[in-house]
Amino acid sequence: MSDIISKDKFCERPHLVILGAGATVATIPFGDKNGRKASCMNNFIEELDMGAILEGVRLHTTSTNLEDIYSELHDRTDCTEVRETLEQRIYDYFRCLELPDQATIYDLLILSLRPKDCIATFNWDGLLVDAYNRVKKITGHLPNLIFLHGNVNVSYCPNCDSYGNKRETCPRCKNKTIIPKLLYPIKHKDYTSDPFIKRQWEDFEAYLEDCSILTIFGYSAPKTDVEAIEKLQKAFARLYDNRFLDHIEIIEKPGFNRTEISEAWLELSSHTHEHISLMESFYDSYLSQFPRRSIEGYFKSNIEGWWGDPTISFTRGITTLDAVHTLIQPLIEDERMNTYEVI
């Protein structure tokens, strides 16, 4: 089989990682540097102590899911002020989150990938950006970041059509930047009017079309993202005849039931000949088992038939960025010589 498939062509394609709220929860399971918690959509209002905003509002929904609550507020003309107050509280809360000093899953995730790869996040918090900024001191050869619903730590320059760390002026042209709006959870989101969001989705769809491995981390394809899921499925299906060796891995919380996998992800796996795996932790993924060599490791293990174990892997015992740096330094040195073999 490996004689038929070009290893170079397969491995030069990107590894795309999609992040949902569950990824941030896994990154700061005990809270951020100051003890602030992250939350998935269920019980979001209660867990982040925003219940006072809804006092005096008689909601029709009995759901505790932010998507259901916000969608109702959005559709009701009598709740405009409450909705805007909630939006500001959400923005301010996520703007205040800080990474712990120790190495987190986001640090490891970013360092597990290379410039050909991409992390696309649906999350509003800035922890991924903060992790990127601190691990680039280890290596500047890092993946592209895409923000599908906006991000509190990102600004956009319409003049340069570029984006990066939140700042008032563009470092390239010195023009004033724009702070992109967050896309809140309503059923019909606008992915085309805002130039920043439009650009993010165009880039995202290109990665979807081309990736060898797609990792979905903590994202459950909620009903308010129906249009996003349709766009995602359409882009992934464009290489239908050439995906028979591609792979999908889904990282969910411990105890997640395989029967609860979203139909959206099962539909994607039909294009990869059912090459799909479910895991309960980032540490079980190809990203962690083969950092900076995830696709090479997948090819070596599943197509070439290698039964060995890599000598460099991320484990739960790695708690400092210095230790991470020391661990992956041999990989970085090989990359300087354009060598990308599994070690």
Q: Is the pLDDT of residue 2 over 50?
A: no
For 263-288, how does the pLDDT look when each residue is reduced to its tens digit (9 = 90+)? 888 888 888 888 889 999 999 999 99
Q: Is the pLDDT of residue 94 over 60?
A: yes
Q: Is the pLDDT of residue 223 over 70?
A: yes
* Residue 161 in tokens: 């059509």
Closest CA to 53 of 14, 10, 86: 86
Instruction: Please tell me the distance from the alpha carbon of residue 259 to that of residue 184, in angstroms, as a whole number.
Output: 28
Instruction: Please tell me the distance from the alpha carbon of residue 132 to that of residue 109, in angstroms, as a whole number.
Output: 10
pLDDT value at position 4? 55
- When pLDDT is averaged across residues 108-136 and rounded to a whole number, the result is 98
The residue among 230 and 293 whose pLDDT is bigger is 293
**Cα dihedral 308→10→119→113 (10° resolution):** 40
**Residues belonging to the chain:** 343
CB 208 within 8 A of CB 218: no
For 34-49, how does the pLDDT look when each residue is reduced to its tens digit (9 = 90+)? 999 999 888 899 988 9
Q: Is the pLDDT of residue 63 over 80?
A: yes
Instruction: Work out the pLDDT band at 97, boundaries 50, 70, 90.
Output: very high
The residue among 117 and 254 whose pLDDT is bigger is 117
Give the containing element (helix H, strand E) for 121: strand 118-121
- When pLDDT is averaged across residues 249-258 and rounded to a whole number, the result is 84
Instruction: Please tell me the distance from the alpha carbon of residue 147 to that of residue 182, in angstroms, as a whole number.
Output: 10
- On average, the pLDDT of the chain sits at 92
pLDDT value at position 165? 94
pLDDT value at position 126? 97
For 151-182, how does the pLDDT look when each residue is reduced to its tens digit (9 = 90+)? 999 999 999 999 999 999 999 999 999 999 99
Instruction: Work out the pLDDT band at 240, boundaries 50, 70, 90.
Output: low
Query: 336 Cβ partners below 8 Å, 6+ apart?
Result: none
pLDDT value at position 249? 95
Q: Which of 41-50, 147-156, 312-321 has the lowest mean pLDDT?
A: 41-50
pLDDT value at position 1? 45
